[in-house]
Amino acid sequence: MNPTLEKVEANVNHSFHVNHLMLEYFPSPLHFHPEVEILLVLQGMGTRFIGDSVERFVPGDLVVIGSNTPHVWYSDRYPLQKEVKNISEAIYIIFDPAIFGEHFWNLPEAKSIRNIIELANRGLKLIGETRDQVSSFMKIIPDSVGFKRVCLLLNILEIIALRDEYTYLSSPYFQNIIDKKDSDRLNKVYEYVINNFAREITLDDAASVANFSTPAFCRYFKQRVNKTFIQFLNEIRVGHACRLLVDEDYPVAEICYICGFNNISYFIKQFKIITGLTPLSYRKKFNEEIKTF
């Protein structure tokens, strides 16, 4: 999924960008920018891509994304309850660390913040009290003005930096190989999988979408995405199985087939590899966690 470069427009009234976004679906495709981004999901569910990480996002999801790290939030396109309208809502901050100046980053007090910005190149998912405290600041920063907005950003960064309440998203081996001529091709594969994961998808199918021979596509995909196409497909399918486990009372066997798997033992094995839990354990754990947000 090769990303496209996104230019973040400057605002004469502010030194960094803050936006409260509310749409039917979060915008795509995969993109990157030299600025650091912090994003809080308020409403909406779907699949989040950061580097070579593929995960489900839900309300309360809060991440920090480093410079030039490819990312996208792909909203679920069809609500399970058909009468419910899709709403995707998020607050995000995009800032260039250079706005604080070289002397600031050389201060001993800024060392921990500088370190966390470097770690964010792998993508960081905030958890625990850190997530709760940062979420509170994120909800008020869109309405803040003047130097208060700068202070809020620094407070957010300090809270993140002084604790270890985050998990890495992208693997340490991920390298962002940027080739703009590949962008359309790989995004077509991405869209194809998202729209067709519930049915059988073969390597030949995916290779055809990318206009490659099957062996060439396998090499190409592994090089760009840092995983095999089958691994990627399983992550998408397991992600949507997570949604069904949370939103519906379907038996595990039925969810297996709805999400494109044709063998329940293989489904449970892949689910545990990807999430670290069995499907039933995931359902119980998620229902407990979502009540706390």
Last residue of a domain, one of 142, 168, 194: 168
Range of the domain at 251: 180-290
Average pLDDT, the chain: 87
Is the same domain home to 222 and 242?
yes
CA nearest neighbour of 244 among 230, 254, 233, 232 = 254
The lowest-confidence range among 33-42, 65-74, 130-139 is 65-74
Same domain, 119 and 226: no
Q: Which of 119, 142, 168 is the last residue of a domain?
A: 168
Instruction: Name the 3-class secondary structure at 18.
Output: strand
Residues 159 and 125 in one domain: yes
| Together in a domain, 124 and 60 | yes
Question: Which band of pLDDT confidence, cut at 50, 70 and 90, is reported for residue 178?
Answer: low
Higher pLDDT, 153 or 176: 153
Question: What mean pLDDT do residues 19-39 have?
Answer: 89
CATH code, 210: 1.10.10.60
Q: What is the pTM of this model?
A: 0.79
- Residue 20 confidence (pLDDT) above 50: yes
Banded pLDDT at 16 (limits 50, 70, 90): very high
Residue 142, pLDDT > 70, answer yes
How far apart are alpha carbons 236 and 5 in whole angstroms? Answer: 24
Q: Which residue has the higher pLDDT, 155 or 173?
A: 155
- pLDDT one-digit tens code per residue, 239-282: 889 888 988 889 999 999 999 999 999 999 999 999 899 999 99
What is the SS3 assignment for 27? coil
**Residue 70 belongs to a domain:** yes
For residues 151 and 184, state if they share a domain: no
Q: What does each C-alpha distance from 1 to 177, 241, 270 come to in angstroms?
A: 10, 22, 22
Total of domains in the chain: 2
Residue 16 lies in a domain: yes
Strand order in the sheet with 62-65: 17-23, 88-95, 36-43, 62-65, 124-126, 166-168
In angstroms, the Cα distances linking 266 to 251, 271, 278 are: 16, 8, 12
**H-only helix segments in 120-263:** 128-140, 147-161, 183-196, 203-210, 214-225, 229-247, 252-258
Report residue 75: phi and psi, to 5°.
Answer: -70, 145
What pLDDT, on the 0 to 100 scale, is given for residue 99? 94
13 compared with 87, residue with greater pLDDT: 87
Q: Which of 141, 168, 195 lies at the terminal end of a domain, its last residue?
A: 168
**What confidence score (pLDDT) does residue 1 get?**
45
